[in-house]
Amino acid sequence: MDTMRLRNFVEQIWDGDIVPALTEYIRIPNKSPAFDPEWEAHGYMREAVKLMECWARDRLPHGATLEIVQLPGRTPLMLIEIPGASEDTVLLYGHLDKQPEMVGWADGTGPWTPVHVGDKLFGRGGADDGYAMFAALSAILALREQGVPHARCVILIEACEESGSPDLPFYVDHLAARIGEPSLVICLDSGCGDYDRLWLTTSLRGMAAGTLTVRVLEEGVHSGDASGVVPSSFRILCELVARLEDPHTGAIRPAELFVQIPPKRLEQAKDAAVILGASLHSKFPFAGSTRPVTGDLAELVLNRTWRPQLAVIGIDGLPAPQNAGNVMLPYTTARLSLRLPPTLPGAETGALLKRLLEDAPPYESEVTFSGGEAASGWNAPALSPWLEEAVARASEAWFDQPPAYMGEGGSIPFMAMLGEKFPTTQFVVTGVLGPHSNAHGPNEFLHIPTGKRVTMSVASIVADHFARPG
Ligand SMILES: [Zn+2]
């Protein structure tokens, strides 16, 4: 492979074709179905699919096929099949649905307003995960352009990832014959610790969520009359949450929600902490003098990748402060989102949480935990020697630095699905979601140079996959 030529090809296709296409893609508010139940009527998803389809069709390599598959009542899925010099399959994955808007976008920017400043393209969905289709196809085109052989490649882009990929299992079944049995999966929907090297995601957390409601009254009453007689629903809610999470440390309490962290992962967490240093926490927009939960950097890595942690992501039953009268409120509701260790079976946590939160309610108040969702995480199988070398070569060639390995705190349901289905498959899970890129939050950006280098890395890893021994 001529690395200079590959670099030039990727630079050109990104600057000339991909950045303009992503700019248009950012304008489309194609929120994932969980955030836009009317997505089908709105037609934005169709528009986003069309944009990617047109781009890809214009550039499809010889013999390749592209199909938009849509099962009744489900989000569409884009499938590109590129024949190769062997029947062995590489599966490349990304998604095109988006998170909702969020508040806090800087002046002059917004989720659906693409702004290109220097190395960054701001706007919703460019980095998470619109770039994936463009990067995956361009990587193969870069190999084709100089006749470097590769295995058969299948690019699969789904449209419900941000809703937890509920449609994907149906597509995986429906398309089983065409997906085949990949010996390598490349997932382009993950993060990177910095923009200086290739980062491989070694694990993803699972998640369990549910809505906790504490009801103490049939209707609100004067707080001067009732406080001290009627227990506060807010206080009971806090007490129940404290069954799950230590309010002083944020540590999750039930031992059943922890797993034994594999020694290799402990070692990699220490290495990642050394590489990243204080940027592990300084990348977050802390208010005032707020500090992280601990100063021990390796512990922070493990907290966000291998330990269960709680976030209260929504609250109801409370009026906005400007409308708040002196009233004891009839109920308080909170949406609880619990990240789970990678190897903990997600499905079993729902019943555990329900029992923990509903049993023996304080003051015999009405407590319900409902609307539960759960998904398992994923722990990467050990890398084959050829892949470990390919990853090292890619990182050295395109980033001038050795690669790094770290777990990610988020979830990609498809990886758990594939890991279960293909236990011997090798995985490269990587992405462009680095410091401040802020997927899901305001001011999301795509770091364009990283997008290019990830594309080059995919190309050389796919080439090395074909050339691997045995
Ligand atoms: Zn994503």
Give per-residue pLDDT as tens, 104-150: 999 989 999 999 999 999 999 999 999 999 999 999 999 999 999 99
List the single range of 211-215, 401-405, 410-414 with lowest mean pLDDT: 410-414
Distance between CA 388 and CA 122 in Å, rounded?
33
CA of 166 to the centre of ligand 1 (A): 14
Per-residue model confidence (pLDDT) at position 164: 87
Average pLDDT on 222-249 reads 97
What kind and span of H or E run contains 189? none
* pTM score, whole prediction: 0.88
Q: What is the pLDDT of residue 389?
A: 98
CA of 275 to the centre of ligand 1 (A): 24
Query: Ligand 1 centroid to 128 CA: how many Å?
Result: 4
% of the chain exceeding 70 in pLDDT: 100
Centre of ligand 1 from the C-alpha of residue 248, in Å: 32
Q: Is the confidence at residue 470, as pLDDT, over 80?
A: no
pLDDT classification of 417: cutoffs 50, 70, 90: confident
Alpha-carbon distance of 283 to 433, in angstroms, equals 12
Predicted pLDDT of residue 421:
85
Q: How far is the CA of 245 from the centre of ligand 1 (A)?
A: 27
**Amino acid of residue 297:** L
Give percent above pLDDT 90 in the chain. Answer: 93
| Residue 422 pLDDT | 86
Cα 30 to averaged position of ligand 1 atoms, centre (Å)? 13
pLDDT-based confidence at residue 418 (cuts at 50, 70, 90):
confident
- Residue 142 CA to ligand 1 center (angstroms) comes to 24
What is the per-residue pLDDT for 290? 98
Q: How far is the CA of 95 from the centre of ligand 1 (A)?
A: 7
Ligand 1 centroid, distance to 253 Cα (angstroms): 29
* Centre of ligand 1 from the C-alpha of residue 189, in Å: 5
DSSP H or E segment with residue 368 = strand 366-375
416 pLDDT exceeds 90?
no
State both tokens at 127.
């980095």
28-73: pLDDT as tens digits: 999 999 999 999 999 999 999 999 999 999 999 999 999 999 999 9
Lookup: tokens for 186: 């490349």
> How far is it between the farthest Cα atoms of the chain?
82
Please report how many Cα atoms fall inside a 13 Å half-sphere around the Cα of residue 381, on the Cβ side.
18
Answer yes or no: is pLDDT of 395 > 90.
Answer: yes
CA 410 to ligand 1 center in whole angstroms:
9
Contact by Cβ (8 Å): 188, 132: yes
Does the pLDDT of residue 283 top 90, yes or no? Answer: no
Question: How many H helices and E strands in the chain?
Answer: 16, 19
The reported pLDDT for the residue numbered 360 is 98
How far apart are the C-alpha atoms of 59 and 203, rounded to whole Å?
A: 34
Ramachandran quadrant class, 46 (left: phi over 0; alpha: psi -120 to 50; beta: rest): alpha
Distance from the alpha carbon of residue 269 to the mean position of ligand 1, in angstroms: 23
Distance 397 CA to ligand 1 centre (A): 26
Give distance in angstroms: CA of 267 to centre of ligand 1: 27
Is residue 159 over pLDDT 90? yes
> Cα torsion for 223, 224, 229, 232, to the nearest 10°?
30
Average pLDDT of the segment spanning 427-453: 95
User: Would the pLDDT of 321 be above 90?
Assistant: yes
Q: How many angstroms is it from 235 CA to the middle of ligand 1? A: 36
- For residue 258, pLDDT over 90 is answered with yes
Angle at the Cα of 45 (from 42 to 47), degrees rounded to 5? 90
Distance CA 3, CA 150 (A): 16
| pLDDT (mean) for 401-417 | 90
**pLDDT attached to residue 373:** 87
10 CA to centre of ligand 1 in angstroms: 22
Nearest to 439 by CA among 89, 117, 171, 188: 188
| Ligand 1 centroid from CA 38, angstroms | 21
Q: How far is the CA of 188 from the centre of ligand 1 (A)?
A: 8
Mean pLDDT of 202-231: 97
7 CA to centre of ligand 1 in angstroms: 26
- Separation of 469 CA from ligand 1 center, angstroms? 33
* pLDDT exceeds 80 at position 233: yes
DSSP state of 85: S
C-alpha–C-alpha distance, residues 112 and 175, integer Å: 33
| All residues at 6 or more sequence positions from 204 whose CB lies less than 8 Å from its CB, including other chains | 190, 342, 377, 378, 407, 408, 410, 411, 412, 415, 416, 429
